[in-house]
């Protein structure tokens, strides 16, 4: 079946550090891939997405590249800020399915 595996958190960084959150997936078809972010006390919101192999999604300084050969969609940011502290969810939507499959989430804590 379809599944998403994310690195466990929390990830603790100092402001301006480089961020990588790993995400790998298993899918039967050709999925679209997403990163959602959840700030404290709020619902999830889309951060970025990619719908086919080699696409790069980007938003707010975050980037992720759809790597079909390694079935990965790792999230990166060159310089994190305190305001980036949140839980990040990797998700996929397989071809022909209506449903998103989520990873377990990775909590990011950024200190000044």
64 forms part of the interface with another protein (CB under 8 A) = no
88 forms part of the interface with another protein (CB under 8 A) = no
- Cα–Cα distance between 14 and 67 in angstroms, integer? 28
32 forms part of the interface with another protein (CB under 8 A) = yes
- Cα–Cα distance between 104 and 108 in angstroms, integer? 13
- Cα–Cα distance between 107 and 29 in angstroms, integer? 29
Size of the site for another protein (CB under 8 A): 26
Residues in the site for another protein, rule: CB under 8 A?
4, 31-32, 34, 41-46, 49, 51-52, 89, 93-100, 102-105
């Amino acid at each position: 079946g379809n599944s998403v595996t994310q690195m466990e958190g929390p990830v603790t960084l100092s402001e301006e550090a480089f961020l990588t959150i790993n995400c790998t997936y298993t899918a039967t078809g050709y999925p679209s891939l997403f990163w959602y972010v959840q700030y404290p006390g709020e619902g999830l919101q889309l951060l970025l997405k990619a719908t086919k192999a080699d696409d790069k999604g980007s938003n707010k300084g975050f980037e992720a590249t759809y790597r079909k050969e390694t079935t990965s969609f790792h999230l990166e940011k060159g310089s994190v800020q305190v305001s980036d502290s949140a839980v990040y969810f990797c998700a996929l939507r397989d071809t022909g399915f209506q449903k998103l499959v989520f990873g377990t989430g990775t909590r990011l804590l950024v200190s000044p």
